[in-house]
Amino acid sequence: MKKLLTIVLMTLVPSLLLAGELDRMKPDVHDKASLQRGAALFTNYCLGCHSAEYARYKLVAEDLGIPEDLFEENLIFTGARIGELMQIAMPKEPAESWFGVAPPDLTLNARVRGPDWLYSYLRGFYKDDTRPLGVNNVVFSNVGMPHALVNEGGLCAEEPNIGGRPSVDPMSGEVVGGTACDNWAIEGSMSPEEFDRAMYDLTNFMVYLGEPALLDRKRIGTYVLIFLGVFLIFAWLLNREYWKDIH
């Protein structure tokens, strides 16, 4: 019992402590347009360094409703074929010496870290000249990753206010509460609101990537409930039949 309590406390306390420091995002894996935009960002900007080697391009194309030829032409940059796993060309060892650590596989990252963390991380880069790459991150201090989306999102001159104001309203999809950075060292080609929205899509895609079954699970769940509903009628009729002569 004591052991159980310790385990519960150990899992709950850090997540409670961390909870206040992240921006919230509510994934919606049924928003295909958002997943498609996220997939485009992911294949363009992330697959250069990170693999997603438990995922297959073909399944992603199918799930997101992107025709295979379009997907192959526009979203595969590694020379891979549509049936292959989402691996990368970058070898591990030199990557390690470039960045200090090899970029980890991202297939399951959204499940390990959680969507709030990921969404905050992607928007948490800021200028820090004491770091080798000139950037740091508020939710991952001394991160070894460069700010891959600096041209789009810009670079905050100071620690952005993550966990404070902005979040994406799950109902309307609008960014509410302003943006996290007041003072930019580099302006991005997107407005801060556009960038937040894009990072919502990217996170949403990575949530899907970590658990593609989410798409089917709910659909199958609906069928199961319908089946149970129909079954109930027959069970009730049968029950009535059995008891008919006894009353």
Query: How many chain residues bind ligand HEC (CB under 6 A)?
Result: 21
Q: How many CB atoms lie within 10 A of CB 24?
A: 14
Q: How many CB atoms lie within 10 A of CB 18?
A: 15
| Minimum CB–partner distance for residue 103 and ligand HEC (Å) | 4
| Minimum CB–partner distance for residue 77 and ligand HEC (Å) | 12
Q: What distances in angstroms separate CA 116 from CA 32, 51, 139, 162, 237, one per listed residue?
A: 20, 21, 11, 11, 49
Helix extents (H) in 124-212: 150-153, 192-210
Interface pick for ligand HEC out of 88, 118, 198, 207 (rule CB under 6 A): 118
- Give the burial class of 111: count Cβ atoms within 10 A of its Cβ; 0-12 exposed, 13-18 middle, 19 or more buried: middle
Q: How many CB atoms lie within 10 A of CB 19?
A: 11
Stretch that binds ligand HEC, among 1-9, 20-28, 142-150, 181-189 (CB under 6 A): 142-150
Q: Which of residues 61-90 bind ligand HEC (CB under 6 A)?
A: none
**Is 45 among the residues that bind ligand HEC (CB under 6 A)?**
yes
| Minimum CB–partner distance for residue 75 and ligand HEC (Å) | 14
> Which parts of 95-149 are beta strand (E)?
125-127, 135-137
Interface pick for ligand HEC out of 23, 39, 51, 103 (rule CB under 6 A): 103
| Minimum CB–partner distance for residue 102 and ligand HEC (Å) | 7
Q: HSE on the CB side for 173, CA within 13 Å? A: 11
- The residue (of 48 and 178) whose beta carbon lies closer to ligand HEC is 48
**Which residues of this chain interact with ligand HEC, rule CB under 6 A?**
45-46, 48-50, 99, 101, 103-104, 106, 109, 113, 118, 121, 143-146, 148-149, 202
